[in-house]
Amino acid sequence: MKILRFFKDILKNNESQPEEPKAVNNQAENQIPNKFNQPTTTKPNKAVISKPIQDDKYKAHYEAFDKWLCPHCAHQFEKEVTRKRKCPSCQNTLLVRTHHESKRKMILKEEQLPEYEKERTKYYKDKWIEDFFNKYGTTLEEEHSKTGSGSPYPYDIAWGMLNRVAMERASEMKFGLYRNVRMDMGDLLKQEGKLKHSLLFYLEVCFLDINGATNATTHPELMKEYPPFRLESAFLAPGILAYIETLSEELNLSLEDIKEEFINHNKRSYKDNVLVPLSAEKAWLNLEKELLERKEEFAK
């Protein structure tokens, strides 16, 4: 794997090329810089990004809500329509919804609901990936134009961005930030519906947390005093444990299944990383203990 070869190169470079001391930051930050793929000589395709959904076609339905009117027959209600009901004049079913973009209430015809729900789902999916790029201080269009990525698919572009950031953070010995990138990879996979792969990245995040991943320096002497992994900084956040529990249930995986996935994935990913103090097998004991304690607590 690229990451494994990358770790080997880092360690060799640290032994032979000392740098000027840098300030050490022991806290893993929440914001992570940009990431992009390797450029090509070909002109990039335009990235596929959904335009904001226009709600002009719902104008009459906003007015119907505001004026207490039936959108079918213009029957005037005596009071505001606040829930699903039938029009007393034409007997058509009326639905009250809040538009996802304008946030205005409206009265929909029953036959409009499937199209409206489709638009709503697409809007929030597009917004999620837009916010994802914003978190890294960039946009889909900017990232795609920088990289010349052959794929116009937003999730492919985002994945390439995250791979680059992960490599950068590892080379800087900022494993607290590296951990955050791997967490975002899990989130991206989950958003795509790739639950099994998402779980593997969340298990990797637990492995890094159990090993006390933090932000250090590439200077060899300072690394001896401030290593990038410190067991005294180890902490498993309830949020990541909840993700693992939820995905395990959705994928119908037992604790023994989770153990196998945890050990196999992290042994494969970190077998050549001599910086990590705990092996995958030893780290699993910590995670297993936390999961069992939570299970007992919830059973009370």
Which tens digits make up the pLDDT trace of 55-103?
Answer: 568 888 889 999 999 999 999 999 999 999 999 999 999 999 999 999 9
Residues paired with 215 in a beta bridge: 174
- 78, with CB counted inside 10 A (0-12, 13-18, 19+), is exposed
Which tens digits make up the pLDDT trace of 225-273?
Answer: 889 999 999 999 999 999 999 999 999 999 999 999 999 999 999 988 8
Which tens digits make up the pLDDT trace of 150-203?
Answer: 778 899 999 999 999 999 999 999 999 999 999 999 999 999 999 999 999 999
CB 187 within 8 A of CB 179: no
Task: Judge whether residue 279 has pLDDT over 80.
Answer: yes
Question: Which one is predicted more confidently, 218 or 279?
Answer: 279
Q: Tokens for 100, please give them.
A: 């996802």
Q: Where are the domains of the chain?
A: 2-37+149-299, 56-120
pLDDT for 298 equals 86
| Cα(202)–Cα(130) distance, integer angstroms | 22
> Which positions ≥6 away from 290 have C-beta within 8 Å?
236, 241
Which tens digits make up the pLDDT trace of 100-121?
Answer: 999 999 999 999 999 999 999 9
Which tens digits make up the pLDDT trace of 120-157?
Answer: 999 999 999 999 999 999 999 988 887 766 778 899 99
pLDDT for 135 equals 94
CB 236 within 8 A of CB 288: no
